A and B are shown apart, each in its own frame.
Chain A
Amino acid sequence: NAGVTQTPKFRILKIGQSMTLQCAQDMNHNYMYWYRQDPGMGLKLIYYSVGAGITDKGEVPNGYNVSRSTTEDFPLRLELAAPSQTSVYFCASSYWASDTQYFGPGTRLTVL
């Protein structure tokens, strides 16, 4: 099993550009999550999904969108990138809500 995979590993965007961060898991997990982590801080939840076709906002959803058309994939879309979105983005999955989360290796995004 590959676990949770994320692409790209690194990306530099210009202000106003858009991009999609990809996340996939092969563990047949129901729950998937997107977090951002700013330097010296904990992880903040952006969006989460409890299953295919169902998504909900987390603590910091503004400026982001998600979709979950399959169990495996949970892409995160950034529209109109801003410098405040410079961060490390982690995707995670778990079988149930109260279970261990498994994380991808992260995407380091810089918006200039």
Chain B
Amino acid sequence: RKEVEQDPGPFNVPEGATVAFNCTYSNSASQSFFWYRQDCRKEPKLLMSVYSSGNEDGRFTAQLNRASQYISLLIRDSKLSDSATYLCVVNLASRGSYIPTFGRGTSLIVHP
């Protein structure tokens, strides 16, 4: 089983739709969790950190479920500009530090 797994998609949704992605992780000692956004041929950029209590930033909501070992990202009222690849990142404890491990990303295409 891969350490961090994501459905690669693509998720093809109309403008205004609500879409949700999940990301599962295998190491229960994982400490911190993030969602990054990557546009085509560009570097990843932080979208939001993920906390146990859940967090919201405008149209984006991230949740962490430690018991089931997954994180989720919900995007409401999708915009054309939300089209991108969404990468989940899990920091795994290793050799006295935390090593970031990326999922392969979920592709989102928002169409008119």
How far does the Cβ of B79 sit from chain A's closest Cβ, in whole Å? 23
Cβ-neighbour of B43 out of A56, A58, A98, A103 (below 8 A): A103
Q: Is the CB of B34 within 8 A of A48?
A: no
CA distance A47 to B101 in the complex (A): 12
CA distance A90 to B36 in the complex (A): 14
Kindly state the interface size class of chain B when it binds its partner.
Answer: 20 to 34
Cβ-neighbour of A106 out of B43, B46, B95, B97 (below 8 A): B43
Cβ-neighbour of A42 out of B31, B42, B99, B103 (below 8 A): B103
Q: Is the CB of A98 within 8 A of B101?
A: no
Residues on the A chain within 8 Å of B97, using CB = 50, 56, 97
Cβ-neighbour of B31 out of A45, A98, A104 (below 8 A): A98
A101 with B100, Cβ < 8 A, contacts A42-B105, A90-B44 known: yes
Point out residues on A near B: beta carbons under 8 Å.
33, 35, 40-45, 48, 50, 56, 58-59, 88, 90, 97-98, 100-101, 103-106
Point out residues on B near A: beta carbons under 8 Å.
4, 6, 8, 31-32, 34, 41-46, 49, 87, 89, 91, 95, 97-105
